[in-house]
Amino acid sequence: RDITEKIVTPAGVYDARTKDGRDKSCRFQVYHLSNGDVVIYAQDVTGERLVEGPFKTIIDQAPISMAIVSMDGTIEYTNKRALATFGYSPQDIPSMEKWWFLAYPDRKYREEVIATWTGLVDKAVAGNHEIEGREYRVTCKDGSVKTMLIFGVPVAGKVFVMFQDVTLRMEAQETFRNLAEQSPNMIFINQSGRIVFANMKCEATMGYTRAELYSPGFNFMDLVAPECHALTAKSFKSHMAGREVPSYEYTILTKKRRRIQAVISTRLIMYRGKSAILGIITDVSALKKAQVGLKAAAGQLREQKRALEEKNAALKEVLAQIEAEKLGIRQQVSENARRLLMPIVEGMRRKASPADRRQFDLLAQNIEELTSRFGVSLGGSPSALSSRETEVCAMIRSGMTSKEIADSLKVSLRTVDTFRNRIRKKLGVANKDINLYTHLKSLA
C-alpha cells in the first residue's frame, strides 16, 4: 500500500542464524507507518561483510570481474568490474536463478550451463579445490554476447566466482580456424600430449576423423614412423620445457600406414588459456621424389657428358689423322709432280722459242703452286674458283700485270678485270681496301 508518512529507525547490521543453522549477516531497517504499523526490512549482507575494509577495496578495484555466491544460490556481492562488464545492477541479479535467466536466455543452453557449473561446484567443494575454468557465452543487459572464462574458489561456505572476458581471443581463434581450414598444409594443436585441434587437411591426408584424433585415448605418436619417434619425443620435450624448436624433416604414417615424407614447423602458443603447441606439416613426398628424379637425371647427364668428351677426343684423333694423311697426300702429289711432270716441262721449255719460254715458266710455277698450300687454300674457298680463275690467281701472284695476263691468255684487259672482280668476291675481299696480290701471297 502507499506509504504517506514514515519514520525510519537507523539501520543496523546483526548476525543471524537461519533455520538450517547457517550464520548470516543481515542489515535490519525498521519503518514506522503513520497508521501505527511497523515494517521491518532485512537485507542479507554476508557477502558485503566478507569484503569490508581493505579487502573490499582490493576486490572492487580488481581488473577481473568477481562475485560472491552463497551455497543456496544467492548472489551476495558483485564488484564494479563485473557490473561494468555485463551492464547489470545488483538489483537485477538478486539470485543465481535470476542470473541464469538473464545471462543465458536460451533455455537449452541455460540448462546445459547450469548442469555443468553445478557439477563443477559440487566437485570442487567435495575435493576442497578450485572450480575448473570453462568458457561460456554470456548475454549482457544490452543484448550483446560475450565469451567469458568463468572459474571459482570455494571459501568458508561461499563461492568466489571470477569472470574473464575472452571474446577477442575467441574471435581470434575463430579467425585462425577459418584460415586453418583453408590451408593446403596440415595444421594441428597439441596440448599436454593430446591433439585438441586438426584442420580438414589432416583428416583428408591422414585418414583419421577429427573425433578419432581428439579422443583422450589417441596417442599422437602413432602418427609418426618408428624411426622418427626419438626425434619427435625430443622436440615435444623441448617445447614442454618452454623452448622453441627449429623445423625438421620426418616421416608420418596415415591410418592405412602409408608413409609420407614431411617437414614440420612448431611454435608454442596459448590455447584456451593454457600452453599448447601449434604445428604446421608440409607434405614434401612429391618434392623428394622429384629430387631423386633430378639426381638420377644429373647422373645420366654426367655419363652422357663423359661419353661425349670421349667421342670428342676420338674425333680429334681422327681429324688429326686425316690432316696428317692430307699433308702426306699433298707432299706425295708435290713430290710426284716434281719427279714426273717437272722434267717433261723443263724438256719442252728448252726446246721452245724464247718467246714461249715465259709460258713454260708459268706452267712450271702453276704446277708447283697447285700442289702447295696455296693451291689447297684456293680450293677450300667458300665459292670454289674455276680453272681459268685459278690460272689468273697464279699469274697475279707471280707478279704479272693485267696487260701481261691479257697477252698471255689472249683476252682483253676488260676480261682480266672481270676475272679479278670474281676472284675478289669469291675470296671474300670484294669492296675491301685489300691488295689482291698481297692477299694471294698471304695464302701461301
Q: How large a percentage of the chain has pLDDT more than 90?
A: 26
The pLDDT, as a whole number, for residue 382 is: 47
Flag the least confident range among 8-22, 23-37, 198-212.
8-22
Q: What is the mean pLDDT of residues 35-47?
A: 74
Over residues 257-314, the pLDDT tens digits come to 999 999 999 999 888 778 899 999 999 988 888 877 888 888 888 888 888 888 898 8
The pLDDT, as a whole number, for residue 1 is: 40
Report residue 202's pLDDT band, with 50, 70 and 90 as the boundaries.
Answer: very high
List the one residue out of 51, 40, 36 whose CA is nearest residue 16.
40
Report residue 179's pLDDT band, with 50, 70 and 90 as the boundaries.
Answer: confident
- The type of residue at 175 is T
Mapping DSSP onto H, E and C, the string for the chain reads: CCCCCEEEEEEEEEEEECCCCCEEEEEEEEEEECCCCEEEEEEECHHHHHCCHHHHHHHHCCCCEEEEEECCCEEEEECHHHHHHHCCCHHHCCEHHHHHHHHCCCHHHHHHHHHHHHHHHHHHHHHCCCEEEEEEEEECCCCCEEEEEEEEEEECCEEEEEEEECHHHHHHHHHHHHHHHHCCCEEEEEECCEEEEECHHHHHHHCCCHHHHHCCCCCHHHHECHHHHHHHHHHHHHHHCCCCCCCEEEEEECCCCCEEEEEEEEEEEEECCEEEEEEEEEECHHHHHHHHHHHHHHHHHHHHHHHHHHHHHHHHHHHHHHHHHHHHHHHHHHHHHHHHHHHHHHHHHHHCCHHHHHHHHHHHHHHHHHCCHHHHHHHCCCCCCCHHHHHHHHHHHCCCCHHHHHHHHCCCHHHHHHHHHHHHHHCCCCCCCCCHHHHHHHCC
Q: What is the mean pLDDT of residues 30-40?
A: 77
Q: What is the mean pLDDT of residues 404-430?
A: 89
Does residue 428 have a pLDDT over 80?
Answer: yes
| Strand partners for 277 | 190, 268
Over residues 50-82, the pLDDT tens digits come to 555 555 677 777 788 888 887 777 777 888 888
The pLDDT, as a whole number, for residue 10 is: 56
Most confident of 36-45, 164-173, 214-223: 214-223
In the numeric block, which cell numbers belong to residue 39? 515494517
Cβ–Cβ < 8 Å for 186, 205: yes
Cβ neighbours of residue 5 closer than 8 Å, sequence gap 6 or more: 33, 34
Does residue 236 have a pLDDT over 60?
Answer: yes
The pLDDT, as a whole number, for residue 432 is: 86
| Strand partners for 9 | 30
The pLDDT, as a whole number, for residue 222 is: 93
The pLDDT, as a whole number, for residue 51 is: 56
The pLDDT, as a whole number, for residue 378 is: 55
Cβ–Cβ < 8 Å for 116, 125: no
| Mean pLDDT over each residue of the chain, to the nearest integer | 82
Over residues 369-409, the pLDDT tens digits come to 666 655 555 555 545 778 788 778 878 888 888 998 888 88
The pLDDT, as a whole number, for residue 377 is: 55
Q: What is the mean pLDDT of residues 162-189?
A: 84
pTM over 0.75? The answer is no
The pLDDT, as a whole number, for residue 418 is: 92
The pLDDT, as a whole number, for residue 93 is: 79
Q: What is the mean pLDDT of residues 18-24?
A: 77
Sign of the Cα pseudo-torsion (310, 311, 312, 315, in order): positive
Q: What is the mean pLDDT of residues 31-35?
A: 75
How many residues does the structure list for the chain?
444
